[in-house]
Structure formats: C-alpha cells, structure tokens
C-alpha cells in the first residue's frame, strides 16, 4: 500500500449527536471547569501552607498538576469536536496529544511509586526519614518522574511520524494507542519501544508500589493498633488512586486496540470515562482522605 499524504485524522469514535451537540459541549465545559478548579485549588493550598511543604504533599501536588496538563491537552479539542460536523484533528496535533497523554500517564505511575517509597521510609524508618527524603531527593524524583516518560514516548512519536499510514479514520475521541491501527505495518522497532515503555513506565512502578505497601502493612501488622490505623489512613488514598489509574490503563492498552468487537456507543462511553473519571478522582480522594489537606480545604470553603 502507498503511504497516504496525511494532514488530518478523522475521529470516528464520536456517536451520532447532531441534536444534542450543544448540550454535550456544555456538559464538557462544566466538567472541564470543575476538573481545573478542584485540582488547582488543592495545588494552591499545598503551595501557600508551609505545613504542607512535605514530600508526600509535594508529590500529591505533582499528581494534580499532571491532571491539569492531561485535561488541558484533551478537553479544548474535545469540546470543539462536539460542535463540529466532522470531528478531525491535524496529524501533528494527534501525535502531540498521544505524546502528552502517555507521558503524563507514565509520570503518574512513577509519582505513585515515589509516594510509596516516601511512605515506606516515613513509616518503617522514621528516624532516618529527614536524611533520606531531603529536598534534593524529592527534586530528583520529581524530575525523573517527568523526564523519563517523556523520553520513552518521544521515541514512539518519532517512529510513528516516520511510519506509513493506510487510513485516516481513527476509532476514538482522542489520539491514544488506537492510532496504531492507522498504520499499514507497524515497525518492529515501534513494537519493541512500546513494550519497553509499558514495562518501564507502568508494570515495574506498579510492582514496586505494591511491594512497598506490602512491606508497610507487614511491618504495621506487628505494631500497635494506633500505628496500624495511622499507616492505613496514610496509605489508603494512594492505593485507591493506583488501583483506579491502573484499571484505566489496562482498558486503554487492551480495549482501545480492538477494532470491531466493541459497539461504537460502548467504546465512546468507556473512552469518555478515561477522560472524565481520573482527573476528578484524584482531587476528591486527596481532598477528602488526607486530613491536613481536608482541614485547609474546609477553612477555604467556609
């Protein structure tokens, strides 16, 4: 097959919505505003209150900042597509969306792993905590959490840009890994780098996080009841966020590549959940479950 002269990609994952397009646009606009306000509010609270200038809260702020970037990459274009007769996106913009989506996704897993390590040192090695989790250590972990995924995904974007396309009909509402279905033949190098990225940015951080929390709960189980309660209260929000995000990534890796077995409406709803659910889940969990953040949030609202 000959390589297509691609300038625009058609997003065919949208269901027929000519009658209610303005309603969908308004709903998306309200949700986007809610996502931005909730995430930015908690980041602002962590920024201005000195008692929240601790590694755990700094990592939480980084997670919520990721949600802002993630939503800003997808929502404006998504809202404009709801108003379009034929939703399209420039191929270069599609690659950029792909890059940002998976860079932020990989960053989330690495940040959650860093938070698990921070909780492990805090709970299991409290006397050494100030010397281990210094500002320099936290800064290095933050930089690695953002730079490493960006480098991994940049390689895939460059290889995808050089790959022949035989279709411009993308079965999705934004550019995720369903973009691979547009390619005539996927290069072996692209498949290899995809597997490496999946292992480095998702599987290994998840296993590390699970192992770390297992160690925490094992040590806590041998301690007093009050110690177990505090350890559980501290770790529970992070575990909920990890489970939530891991489920979304499993869906994206598996279902997003299925071409014909999933009905269009079901695919649309499930993909929309990926866009809506996680950016709202983070601030709700951390705003309600983390006592110090919840305390400052109540003061702000009251």
* Separation between Cα atoms, residue 291 and residue 237, nearest integer Å: 11
Q: Higher pLDDT residue, 12 or 134?
A: 134
* Residues in a beta bridge with 238: none
Is residue 45 within 8 Å of residue 300, measured between CB atoms? yes
State the average pLDDT for the chain.
83
Tokens of 22: 């303005």
Q: What is the mean pLDDT of residues 211-233?
A: 79
* Separation between Cα atoms, residue 136 and residue 17, nearest integer Å: 51
Q: What tens digit of pLDDT does each residue of 97-116 get?
A: 999 989 998 999 999 999 99
3-class secondary structure, 19: coil
* Separation between Cα atoms, residue 301 and residue 172, nearest integer Å: 38
Q: What is the mean pLDDT of residues 58-80?
A: 90
Sequence length of the chain is 302
What percent of the chain has pLDDT above 70? 88
- pLDDT above 50: residue 95: yes
* Domain 8-301, second-level architecture: Up-down Bundle (1.20)
Q: Is 111 exposed, middle or buried (0-12, 13-18, 19+ CB in 10 A)?
A: buried
Banded pLDDT at 1 (limits 50, 70, 90): very low
* Separation between Cα atoms, residue 284 and residue 278, nearest integer Å: 10
Which is nearest to 150 in space by CA: 189, 198, 102?
Answer: 102
Banded pLDDT at 5 (limits 50, 70, 90): very low
The residue ranges of every structural domain in the chain are 8-301
pTM value?
A: 0.88
Q: Higher pLDDT residue, 49 or 231?
A: 49
Q: Identify how many contiguous H helices and E strands the chain contains and give both numbers.
A: 10, 3
Banded pLDDT at 68 (limits 50, 70, 90): very high
């Amino acid at each position: 097959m000959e390589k297509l002269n691609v300038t625009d990609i058609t997003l065919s994952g949208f269901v027929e919505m000519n009658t209610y397009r303005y309603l969908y646009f308004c709903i998306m606009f309200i949700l986007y505003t809610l996502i931005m306000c909730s995430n930015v509010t908690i980041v602002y609270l962590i920024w201005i209150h000195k008692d929240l200038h601790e590694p755990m809260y700094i990592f939480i702020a980084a997670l919520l900042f990721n949600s802002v970037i993630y939503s800003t990459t997808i929502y404006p274009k998504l809202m404009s597509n709801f108003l379009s007769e034929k939703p399209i996106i420039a191929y270069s913009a599609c690659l950029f969306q792909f890059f940002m989506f998976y860079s932020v996704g990989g960053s989330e897993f690495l940040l959650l792993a860093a938070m698990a390590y921070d909780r492990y040192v805090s709970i299991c090695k409290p006397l050494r905590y100030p010397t281990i989790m210094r500002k320099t250590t936290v800064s290095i972990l933050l930089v690695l959490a953002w730079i490493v995924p960006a480098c991994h995904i940049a390689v895939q974007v460059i290889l995808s840009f050089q790959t022949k396309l035989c279709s411009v009909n993308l079965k999705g509402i934004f550019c995720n890994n369903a973009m691979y279905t547009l390619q005539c033949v996927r290069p072996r190098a692209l498949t290899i780098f995809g597997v490496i990225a999946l292992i480095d940015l998702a599987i290994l951080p998840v296993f590390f996080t699970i192992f770390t929390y297992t160690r925490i709960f094992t040590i806590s189980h041998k301690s007093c009841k009050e110690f177990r309660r505090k350890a559980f209260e501290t770790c529970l929000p992070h575990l909920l966020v990890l489970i939530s995000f891991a489920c979304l990534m499993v869906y994206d890796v598996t279902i997003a590549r299925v071409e014909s077995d999933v009905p269009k409406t079901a695919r649309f709803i499930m993909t929309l959940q990926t866009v809506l659910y996680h950016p709202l889940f983070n601030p709700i969990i951390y705003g309600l479950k983390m006592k110090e953040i919840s305390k400052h949030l109540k003061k702000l609202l009251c």
